Amino acid sequence: QVQLVESGGGSVQAGGSLTLSCAASGGTFSDLAMGWFRQAPGAEREFVATISRNGRGRYYADSVKGRFTISRDNAKNTVYLQMDSLKPEDTGVYYCASTVTVWMTIIRTRSGEYDNWGQGTQVTVSP
């Protein structure tokens, strides 16, 4: 069973930046495609970004494209989400998720495709 622990959330003003980290343990990190999702109050969880096992496949939600960057360090068993030009609508709890994939470049964008989830980290962006 893979355990995921997010960190790096906080409160920032619009236009600011934050970097989220997700540390994985209990599995072989390089076997995992990773994803970030978020959930705003009263809303459903939504996809934010995903990265393939080898980091060559990346995909973003339209709402964050050009502002967020997902990356991973397989030597540190960690995936990151660099968030720039933050907007109030980016506010929510951000979750890290993982799933085993056979192919190195496969990405996953749907929450149901992920097997393991972190506890979430709060991001609040004020106007």
Under the banding of pLDDT at 50, 70 and 90, the label for residue 106 is: confident
Contact 123, 18 (CB under 8 A): yes
**3-class secondary structure, 30:** helix
C-alpha to C-alpha distance for 60 and 67, rounded to whole angstroms = 10
Torsion of CA 109, 76, 5, 110, to 10 degrees: 10
Under the banding of pLDDT at 50, 70 and 90, the label for residue 104 is: confident
Q: Which ranges of the chain would DSSP assign to H, the alpha helix?
A: none
pLDDT value of residue 101: 87
Tens-place pLDDT, residues 9-57: 999 999 999 999 999 999 899 999 999 999 999 999 999 999 999 999 9
Computed on alpha carbons and rounded to an integer, the radius of gyration of the chain in Å comes to 13
